Structure 1
Amino acid sequence: MIDHIGLTATDIARSRAFYAAALGPLGIALVMEITPEMKGTPGSALGYGREGKPFFWIYGDAPAGGEVHVAFTVPDRAAVDAFHAAAIAAGGRDNGAPGLRPHYHADYYGAFVFDPDGHNIEAVCHAPA
């Protein structure tokens, strides 16, 4: 199952205004904002969703034609670890080893790889250890 998906934006303020207007009628709102300081990388991230759960992300201040991000939900942390190892063995490039990402929430355990086309693919487990 897809957990969340993200797109890059060249102008985060313009995208914030657009998605607030476009997604509002669908009952989807901004539920989380991640600062560059929280991420440890440039650019903010805006998480849109329902009931406090972001499932559509906009990554800000990126060049036009940037990456796509897709995250798959997995049942346990071992599956996250196995995904990362298999993806690297298949030629993927590491974009974040398996581990906790507490800036999302306390039990967020994920791993990230770039696929052969540079898209950011993630496996994530939300369950406690």
Structure 2
Amino acid sequence: MLDHITFGITSFARSTAFYDKALAPLGVKRLFDVPPEHTGGISVTGYGDTRPWFWIAEQDATTGKLHIALQAKSRADVDAFYAAAMAAGGRDNGGPGVRPHYHPDYYGAFVLDPDGHNIEAVCHTAAG
């Protein structure tokens, strides 16, 4: 199942002004800005209803940068995804681990596919 998607935009101010208004009738609002120290200094924000699932990131949108996160049922599934993707020729973009800057139980792993797209598996449940 798709957990969230991120795509690049060229103007953060212009795009947030657009999406703030365009998504409001659907009950979707801006919920989370990623701290710049976790993004390499680019502006990133997430929209959603109860949690962010539609993300935009200020970067060169013409390069086709795309991020898709797939929902995993367990942390072990995230680990297995990462191992399988690496064995299949993926490139590391952030090994399995907790990302507390998103929320305390956010456990994800990131790989770049053969075309450089950032593919993630994420589990939102506490370790147990």
TM-score (norm 2): 0.94
**How many percent identity over aligned positions?**
59
Distance 1:40 1:57, change over 3 A: closer
CA RMSD of aligned residues (A): 1.0
| Unpaired runs of at least 5, structure 1 | none
SS in structure 1 opposite 2:70?
Answer: strand
- Alpha-carbon offset, residue 64 of structure 1: 2.8
- Match for residue 73 of structure 1 among 57, 71, 74: 71
- Alpha-carbon offset, residue 22 of structure 1: 1.0
| Unpaired runs of at least 5, structure 2 | none
After the TM superposition, which residues 106-125 of structure 1 pair with which residues of structure 2 at under 5 Å, given as runs? 106-125=104-123
SS in structure 1 opposite 2:114?
Answer: coil
| Separation (CA, whole Å) in 2 of partners of 1:9 and 1:92 | 25
**Residue identity matched to 1:116:** P
Match of 1:19 in 2: 19
Match of 1:98 in 2: 96
TM-superposition CA deviations, 1:45-89 (whole Å, max 9, x none): 1100002x00000011x1132311110111110110110111111
Q: Which runs of 4+ in 1 moved over 3 A?
A: none
1:128 aligns with 2:126: yes
